[in-house]
């Protein structure tokens, strides 16, 4: 149902915020809502917390945290396990998250392409985007192999230790890339993780040249990933497609063949969303 305003006072220009409120100062912040979102986000990062643990870890009073929890529970955003006395993220949070994924047609357009990529390569196919300096996986089609990679939608991964992350970094504007490298403190997850700016920049140059990236056990030992960027109409890399699997199957002899399939899938999605392939 569409609501219409038939007022005779004339048509006012629609605005996303009140006139003169473009700043981000404290006067525009609802502190109680901000505190509630802090609790919600903190709880979302865990598999469940008791009231006591939440209050202690967030340095808040139990009474304040409890009121927040009950309010969020009433909206279905969190749930309470009576038996375990634990608070968990609720189903409503998932529903809202799915709506975020559908904000554009990226996920819907990617699904058949991911399915085909999985069939061609025999490995798990993934779709990810950059979100606040990390890769967030927003779609996946799993292989039927017993040993496989698994990144459920919403999983976050550091840019420097991810196939999709490096594919996106390789196509960042120089100024933005330098800013990212300057402020980030890359963590070494394995002995293969690239943590120095010089090592990473050298790898990114190779990625730009060959058109795909390789996560060579840089996040998890025994797992390898091949990724390629997806471009929008402005030729900006906005997402990445990858295949991932154990090194026993995704070995060095298969990288060239697999990379061609991944690049083609990324190209197909670029075209499907009205994007332009770089160059």
Q: What is the pLDDT of residues 217-264, one digit of tens each?
A: 999 999 999 999 999 888 999 999 999 999 999 999 999 999 999 999
Decide if 167 contacts 237 (C-beta within 8 A): yes
- The helix (run of H) or strand (run of E) holding residue 196 is none
Bridge partners (DSSP) of residue 223 are 246
SS3 216: strand
Specify the pLDDT at position 253.
93
What local confidence, expressed as pLDDT, does residue 9 receive?
Answer: 47
Q: How confident is the model at residue 86 (pLDDT cuts 50, 70, 90)?
A: very high
pLDDT on residue 96: 80
DSSP state string for 74-100: HTTSEEEETTTTEEEE-HHHHHHHHHH
Q: What is the pLDDT of residue 7?
A: 43
Neighbours of 185 (CB within 10 A): 5
Question: What is the CATH architecture assignment of 30-94?
Answer: Orthogonal Bundle (1.10)
**pLDDT for position 221:** 95
If one looks up domain 104-272 in CATH, what number appears? Answer: 3.30.450.40
CATH 3.30.450.40 residue ranges in the chain?
104-272
pLDDT in tens, 23-67: 555 666 788 898 999 999 898 887 789 999 999 999 999 999 999
Q: Residue 213: pLDDT above 60?
A: yes
> CA angle, 253 as apex, 247 and 254 as ends, to 5°?
70
Contacts of 164 (CB under 8 A, 6+ apart): 126, 128, 135, 137, 157, 213, 225, 227, 239, 240, 241, 242
Does the predicted model carry a pTM greater than 0.75? Answer: no
The bridge status of strand 78-81 relative to strand 213-216 is unpaired
Residue 148: band (very low, low, confident or very high) from pLDDT cuts 50, 70, 90: confident
| Start and end residues for every CATH 1.10.10.10 domain found in the chain | 30-94
For residue 73, pLDDT over 60 is answered with yes
């Amino acid at each position: 149902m569409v609501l219409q305003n038939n007022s005779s006072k004339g048509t006012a220009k629609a605005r996303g915020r009140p006139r003169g409120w473009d700043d981000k100062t404290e006067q525009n912040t609802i502190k109680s809502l901000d505190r509630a979102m802090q609790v919600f986000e903190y709880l979302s990062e865990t598999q469940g917390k008791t009231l006591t643990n939440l209050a202690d870890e967030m340095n808040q009073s139990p009474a304040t945290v409890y009121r927040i929890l009950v309010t969020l529970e009433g909206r279905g955003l969190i749930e309470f396990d009576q038996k375990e006395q634990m608070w968990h993220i609720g189903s409503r949070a998932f529903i809202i998250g799915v709506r975020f994924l559908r904000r554009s047609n990226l996920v819907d357009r990617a699904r058949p392409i991911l399915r085909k990529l999985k069939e061609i390569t025999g490995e798990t196919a993934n779709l990810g985007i950059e979100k606040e300096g990390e890769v967030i996986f927003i779609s996946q089609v799993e292989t039927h192999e017993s040993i496989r990679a698994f990144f459920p939608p919403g999983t976050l991964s550091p840019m420097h230790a991810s196939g999709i992350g490096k594919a996106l970094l390789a196509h960042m504007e120089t100024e933005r890339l330098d800013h990212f490298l300057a402020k980030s403190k890359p963590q070494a997850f394995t002995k293969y993780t690239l943590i120095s700016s010089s090592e990473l920049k050298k790898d990114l140059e190779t990625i730009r040249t060959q058109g795909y990236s390789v996560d060579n056990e840089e996040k998890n030992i025994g797992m390898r990933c091949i990724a390629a960027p997806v471009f929008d109409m402005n030729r900006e890399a906005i997402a990445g497609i990858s295949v991932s699997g154990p090194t026993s199957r995704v070995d060095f002899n298969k990288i060239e063949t697999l990379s061609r399939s991944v690049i083609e899938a990324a190209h197909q999605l670029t075209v499907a969303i009205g994007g332009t392939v770089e160059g």
